[in-house]
Structure 1
Amino acid sequence: MVRVLIGGVLVLVISMGVGRFAFTPILPAMQAATGLGTDAAGLLASLNYLGYFLGALGVGLVPQGAARTAVFRTALIASVTSTAGMGFTEGMVAWAMLRFVSGLASAGLFILGIAMTLDALARAGRESWSGWLYTGVGLGIASSGLFVAVMGDRLGWRGDWLWLGLACLGFGTLSWLWVSDPPREPGHTVAARPTSAPAFRPSVPMVLLTLAYFLEGAGYIVTGTFLVAILKTMPETAQLGAAAWMVTGLAAMPSGILWAAAGRRLGLWRALILAHVVQAVGILLPITGSPAAALLSAVLFGGTFVGIVTLSFTLGRHLSGGASARVIGALTAVYGLGQIIGPVPAGLVVARTGSFDSALLGAAAAVLAGALLLAAGAWMAGRRDPAAVALGAGRG
């Protein structure tokens, strides 16, 4: 089971740390060498998130068994080749295609890799290990940041993509061998669905949570895309760019576990509101131009975005009244839409003004607006059942 868990962690390193977020530390070197504008960079980021969104919708249709394993392995190949391919190409058309394919592959790896790993842990009675799986997101971000910080000047942006692709090939080989679905047993039949499955009627608190999650996706992704580029534009913080991204990853590694504990102690609503406020502060700190504030920004940002996902999914399951799969699917969809939308206007504003300040203010405002919606949701849930807010959820 240890090998399965390691394989699952490596899947998240490949899909999220490299496939989705390695673009962030490499972006400044690409811009300096090729003249890539911030508006074009925002478009490339959005195409990656569009691929992820569409991939997430399609992957949900893949049945368990050999088909799921085959799609997962295809996504591994696509992720490795689209990462390395960035180093072999130059020009918006090729980059756009590769970033879109990378997004599709990331969705397949992230969703199917997590599902197969969690299923394997459940079959072995090791569900308690599942919290460690999500450390792969932060580990991937930290590793890619460290690699670019140490080797970026020597290899150039092309070399960064090529060597990260090679590293993903090695990690992916282990995941290929260790993460899979068992074949269906002969004569296996699918259990009939209960005839009285609970109907799901979205409550006002659930709608408010969904809207808040959309705003979180649109707000956090501005920093998630441009943090290193932001720091590189200011003389005081120019040397901290790649290092700050590494700090972001290190802070993200325990984020899900720590915020889950905060949810148990404070209640899910309160912990989620607090995480939004802390993240908004982290988004705004680079505006000060202070190196210390830049590092603190990386800590606060990295320490919240995985935690917000964890808390939102947990709260959504509480509010679903038994229809948790539908709720998590809806939350994933709106989060993906937010990520698609966020980088484009941010990139356009920066290209027009020459400063990231307005983009960061807008991103922080979106996250804080989400916190206000969550506060309204907690109030509505408390009116229905005051005890539920202490536990974190109102009744759907």
Structure 2
Amino acid sequence: MATKSAMNGITLWASLLFVVILGFSRLSYSMFLPGIQREIGGSYVQLGMLGTVNFIGYLVGTLCLSPIISRFPERKSVMNRITCLLLGVTLIGSAFSNHFAGLGLWRFAIGLLSAFATVLVLSIAMDAVRPAERGTASGLIWLGGSAGILVTGLFAPLTIDPSHLQGWRYAWVIMGVFGVIAAFGFEFVTRKAGAETIPLQTESKPQDIKNEKLYRILLNPKRLLFLIASYFFFGWGYIIYFTYLIPYLVSKGIPSLYAGLIWSGIGFAGLFNGWIGGKAIDRWPSGYTLASGLALGTIGVIGVATNHIFFTVLGAAIIGLVSFITPPLMTTALLRRHVPHHAYAGCLSIATAFFASGQIIGPIVGGLVVERYGLQLGVASSAIFMAIAAALAGLYGQWQQKLEVRSLSIEG
């Protein structure tokens, strides 16, 4: 299959799938927390644990996917087809939960399937794009997650307002139906473009991936370790912010409509983030570019600590604009540049597992801080881990620079 520009039908439908994979299946839970708490009950620690269960499923999925792809490299399209359809179905199923245990099982399944879908959709879509435009394409795909947040925020009057006790259920059903439609659309365009007939040399052979020893690529301090560590701490930090921001706003007495608009504002700003971040990483493919976005995001989180609604909203806009979609899309693009083509899907899967591990720890730590010190400090604590992520990304950029200088010296 001939490669295409960043803007093509496969990228568009992949972005629509990311509305579901990220915005609906994972981050909508935060918006629904007040409604779920009113109907099912539970403390913030318990509700945070349900978020953790989702990311445990996400971690299990990323750990399982790499060996599955290694064993069946030619079946990526089939696996993606099944995974995306099931993801939509499980969203619908979760809407019928009446107890913590049942909802926890659905959240685990959603996490598992979204992990599969994240790696498979990105891998298939990136194979169809010209190498020089893969950062831009990655940005276009990841901005689907921002669009998902934007849409989720518009559900706020239905999901937060106490007069709509079952609103969160209706919202999840609608999201699940959209997910099924997006899965069919992506399948149609990839078939039409001949995505299942990618030349054999671009596919991963099991023995090649085994010989490559992916962990040596990813965990070598002189190669990708600092990038992977940054991705881990970003997952830890951002999920605290996104899990407890809406409960914090509700506790401040912010009307449900306004809380939803703030959430949608993050998503709206993220639409530009995907485009700007993709262009930036294509032009400056460096850890310093990633570190800049994470540092600005840290400043955005600190807005909550001021206890002033203006700075909280301004901080949310900054996070949406420069550090919500930027780290995943830049990590995706940097991996694509610096690992062998046949090892990319496996490396992305392992990197995503580190990201998922951070997201597992985040809700637990955030919940404990909330219970002990309140929602404001709980949300603001995410700045600590965002700052660590920024510092590690800067170290990765420093190593890149040293390697480039060394390479130029050898060539000279």
The TM-score range, normalised by the shorter chain, is 0.7 to 0.9
| Aligned ranges 1:71-150 → 2 under 5 Å | 71-120=79-128, 131-149=139-157
State the shift of 1:260 in Å. Answer: 3.3
Q: Partner amino acid for 2:174?
A: L
* Equivalent residue in structure 2 for 1:260, among 257, 261, 278: 278
| Aligned ranges 1:143-182 → 2 under 5 Å | 143-149=151-157, 153=161, 156=164, 158-179=166-187
Q: Partner amino acid for 1:38?
A: Y
Pair 1:231-2:239 in alignment: no
Q: Following the alignment from structure 1 to structure 2, what is the Cα–Cα distance between the partners of residues 314 and 120?
A: 14
- Please name the residue that 2:331 is paired with: 312
Q: Following the alignment from structure 2 to structure 1, what is the Cα–Cα distance between the partners of residues 73 and 19?
A: 23
State the shift of 1:295 in Å. Answer: 1.8
Q: Following the alignment from structure 1 to structure 2, what is the Cα–Cα distance between the partners of residues 136 and 21?
A: 12
Contact 1:72 1:108 (8 Å CA) reproduced: yes
Contact 1:269 1:378 (8 Å CA) reproduced: yes
State the shift of 1:144 in Å. Answer: 1.3
* Residue deviations 1:184-228 (CA, integer Å, cap 9, x gap): 67xx89798889x87855233632222222111111110121211
* Equivalent residue in structure 1 for 2:372, among 344, 352, 360: 352
* Residue deviations 1:277-320 (CA, integer Å, cap 9, x gap): 11111222122232222221221222212101222333345555
* Residue deviations 1:94-114 (CA, integer Å, cap 9, x gap): 111111011112123322233
Q: Partner amino acid for 1:257?
A: W
* Equivalent residue in structure 2 for 1:272, among 285, 290, 296: 290
CA spacing shift, 1:143–1:157, aligned 2, 3 Å: farther
Contact 1:316 1:328 (8 Å CA) reproduced: yes
Contact 1:138 1:248 (8 Å CA) reproduced: yes
SS in 2 for 1:88: coil
Q: Which stretches in structure 2 are left out of the alignment for 5+ residues?
A: none
Contact 2:266 2:320 (8 Å CA) reproduced: yes
CA spacing shift, 1:315–1:160, aligned 2, 3 Å: same
SS in 2 for 1:84: helix
Q: Following the alignment from structure 1 to structure 2, what is the Cα–Cα distance between the partners of residues 324 and 8?
A: 18
Q: What is the count of residue pairs matched by the alignment?
A: 384
Q: Following the alignment from structure 2 to structure 1, what is the Cα–Cα distance between the partners of residues 204 and 35?
A: 54
Q: Following the alignment from structure 2 to structure 1, what is the Cα–Cα distance between the partners of residues 247 and 25?
A: 18
Q: Which stretches in structure 1 are left out of the alignment for 5+ residues?
A: 392-396
State the shift of 1:18 in Å. Answer: 0.7
State the shift of 1:342 in Å. Answer: 0.7
State the shift of 1:37 in Å. Answer: 1.2
Q: Following the alignment from structure 2 to structure 1, what is the Cα–Cα distance between the partners of residues 129 and 400?
A: 34
* Residue deviations 1:224-270 (CA, integer Å, cap 9, x gap): 21211121111367763221111111122231321233345666232
Pair 1:288-2:296 in alignment: no
- Please name the residue that 1:394 is paired with: none
Q: Partner amino acid for 2:57?
A: G
Q: Partner amino acid for 1:106?
A: S
- Please name the residue that 2:227 is paired with: 209
- Please name the residue that 1:341 is paired with: 361
- Please name the residue that 1:15 is paired with: 21
CA RMSD of superposed structures (Å):
3.6
SS in 1 for 2:267: helix
Structure 1 window deviating more from structure 2 (162-171 vs 15-24): it is 162-171
Structure 1 window deviating more from structure 2 (83-92 vs 279-288): it is 83-92
Structure 1 window deviating more from structure 2 (252-261 vs 222-231): it is 252-261
- Please name the residue that 1:45 is paired with: 51
- Please name the residue that 2:381 is paired with: 362
CA spacing shift, 1:68–1:292, aligned 2, 3 Å: same
Contact 1:88 1:158 (8 Å CA) reproduced: no
Q: Following the alignment from structure 2 to structure 1, what is the Cα–Cα distance between the partners of residues 403 and 82?
A: 47
* Residue deviations 1:339-371 (CA, integer Å, cap 9, x gap): 111101211221233x12332343211111222
Pair 1:27-2:33 in alignment: yes
Q: Following the alignment from structure 1 to structure 2, what is the Cα–Cα distance between the partners of residues 32 and 77?
A: 30
- TM-score of the two chains, using structure 1 as the length reference: 0.83
Q: Percentage identity across aligned positions?
A: 21
Q: Partner amino acid for 1:259?
A: G
